[in-house]
Every structure is written in structure tokens, then in C-alpha cells.
Chain A
Amino acid sequence: MIEAHDSPIVRSAGKLLIPLIQLFALYVLFFGQYGPGGGFAGGVILGTSFLLAILVLGPQAPPCRLAHQLEHGDGVGLMIFVGVGGLCLIGGGEFLNYSNLQLPSLDDAARRSLGIVLTQIGVAADIAVTALSIVFSLGRQNSQEASHE
């Protein structure tokens, strides 16, 4: 159902834009502590960059096969988030109380800062993969419908 775009202009522009969008997504994700942005927006932008690749280059192009591989990572983001919470439990504190991450050489504030970065990566991974998963679900042609047409 989803195929590569006919126009070479659109495909070339897509090839140029996709890495830039992914770079911007990482910037938004890691700059979320210092300015607007964060895990949620970064994850959506990352997912959208793969979405653009699928819509422009077609499902067989290399970035889209990567996206299909990424789909198997559904839930990894949530596991990162819960895992950071679990590490806090193991460190002897409350769930998601990042100051209990047992890292010597870091004071409480730095531990919290690290915890925020890690959980943001978790949120971004979860949202990017979920966006891709929903798009693949919507784009998939059911065999029933195919025989119907």
C-alpha cells in the first residue's frame, strides 16, 4: 500500500532531510534539560523522521528496513524507564528516586540529572517505536481486503 514517491525531487529532498531531522531529534532529546523539548518531543520527531523515510523512499529502502527492525523493540523504552526506577530501588531508596542510583563520584544533584536523562531516553524510545508501530499497523493491507478489491 505504501510505496516510494514517484518524484525524484521529493526523494532527493527526503534523503537530505531525514538525517537532519534525526540529528534535530537527538538535539531536542538531550537539550530538553536546558530548553524546551525533552523525551516526548524528541521521540515524536525521531519517529516522524522514519515515517518520512517510509512515505518517501518506500518500505524496501534501507532506513525503512531499519524501522522494521526497530519495531521489535516495542516496550524497550518503557523497560528503560522502569529499569531506572528499579535501579533506584536496588540502591536502597524509593522507586524513581534518582538520588539512590548507586554511582560513586556523583553527588545527589548529578545523579538526579543523570536519572532525568536516562528516563527521557526511555520515553523517547517508547514514543518513537510506538509511532512507527501504529503507522505500520495502519499501512498494512489485510489479506481479506486485498482479495476484496
Chain B
Amino acid sequence: MMEFFEIALLILLITTAVGISRVRNLISAVLVLACYSFLMAAVWAQLGAVDVAFVEAVVGAGLATVLFLLTLFRARAQDTQIRRARTPLVALLGLPLLGFLLLYAAVDLPPYPDGRDGQDLGKASTRVAAEYLQKSYQKTETPNVVTAVLMDYRAFDTLIETGVIFTAGIACALLLRDRAK
């Protein structure tokens, strides 16, 4: 049952991804992209990454869609239509072949360790992941480990990310607003 759900989700994901690259009207492309983000959020949730799924749904499907649409409404009507050149034969034959080769190579990869049967998780994850999972609650009184890692253990990273977002807002204001006023 779960596998059926996963396969249906992946098929829908690929369909929307192809749809984005085929559609002529950019506004339709933005709306299909929003669908893609929602499906991607479902995939994250399916994989157990609920925080990532939340942000993907909120940012990818919500805010990014609104920003894209506002940008397109600023553009002239003929600029929201694009004429796509015919796909060259080399790409049409070569890219599926490349994909097949990658899938063929992926079969030989070692299985991803989940640490359940005392498997070696690799150096970095054995050093910190176990400690985060075991001790973060006593140290921070925060049941959600993701939040504890983001805001406390990796607070510098989050601080710089916040700075990046702030800079993006300032850059948009400087570029787009009328400076004469």
C-alpha cells in the first residue's frame, strides 16, 4: 500500500516536472511549479522529514508562487509567453541514456545505513548525531530535535541565513523601487 502511494507520488512528481518545462505560458508554469512543490512536500513528509515538508509547502507552494506571479504581472503580456525551440535529437537520445547509466550505476551503491543494527554511520554522524538525539532534550528542554539543532547547536548558521534573507529584501528594494521619490 505504501509502495503504491510512493510510486504514484513519484509519477506525479515527474509529470509535473516535465509539464513545467513544456508549458508555453509562464503563469501556467508557475502554477504547475506550485503543484510540484506540494508534491515534493508530500515526498518529504513520506520520508519522515516533517519540518522540511512544512517549509517546502509554505515557501515553495505559497510565498514563491506569489512572488513569481507578482513578477509576471509586472512584465508585459507578450513576455509571459515563451516560444520553445524544438528539442535537439542529441538531447532527446543522449539524456535518457545518461539517466539509464546513472540508474545502472546506482544499483551498485552500498545500501544507505540507518544505524539500526549497529551499522557504522560514518564518522560525522556517529560523532554528533547520536549525541544530539540522546542529549538535546536534557540540554535544551526542546522536544523537537530539528529545532534544537537549528536554533542552538547550529545557531551561527541560522543567524547567517537570516542575514541572507535580510540582504535579499534590501537588494530587492534597492533594485526595484523608484529612487527619485
Interface residues, chain A, with chain B CB atoms under 8 Å away: 1, 28, 32-41, 44-45, 47-48, 51, 55, 74-75, 77-78, 81-82, 85, 95-96, 98, 108-110, 112-113, 115-116, 119-120, 122-123, 126-127, 129-131, 133-140, 142-144
Contact = CB atoms under 8 A, between A and B. Distances in A.
Nearest to A120: B151
A131 B168 CA distance: 10
Given A41-B54, A48-B66, A138 B151 contact: no
A108 B175 CA distance: 45
20 contacts: A34-B144, A39-B151, A40-B55, A48-B58, A74-B166, A78-B162, A95-B156, A112-B139, A112-B140, A112-B141, A115-B151, A116-B148, A116-B152, A119-B155, A120-B151, A130-B165, A130-B166, A131-B169, A135-B67, A140-B176
Interface residues of B, number: 47
Contact of B54 (A37, A96, A123): A37
Contacts of A95: 156
B74 to A, nearest CB: 6
B71 A33 contact: no
B178 A144 contact: yes
- Main secondary structure, interface of B, reads helix
B163 interface: yes
A98 B152 contact: yes
Contacts of A112: 139-142, 152
Interface of B: 50-51, 53-55, 58-59, 62-63, 66-67, 70-71, 73-74, 138-144, 146-148, 150-152, 155-156, 158-159, 162-163, 165-166, 168-170, 172-173, 175-178, 180-181
Nearest to A55: B66
A149 B87 CA distance: 37
A98 B66 CA distance: 36
Interface centre among A39, A44, A48, A143 (most CB of B within 10 A): A44
A143 B62 CA distance: 30
B176 A137 contact: yes
Interface centre among B139, B151, B172 (most CB of A within 10 A): B151
Nearest to B73: A1
Contacts of A77: 162, 166
A106 to B, nearest CB: 10
A33 B172 CA distance: 32
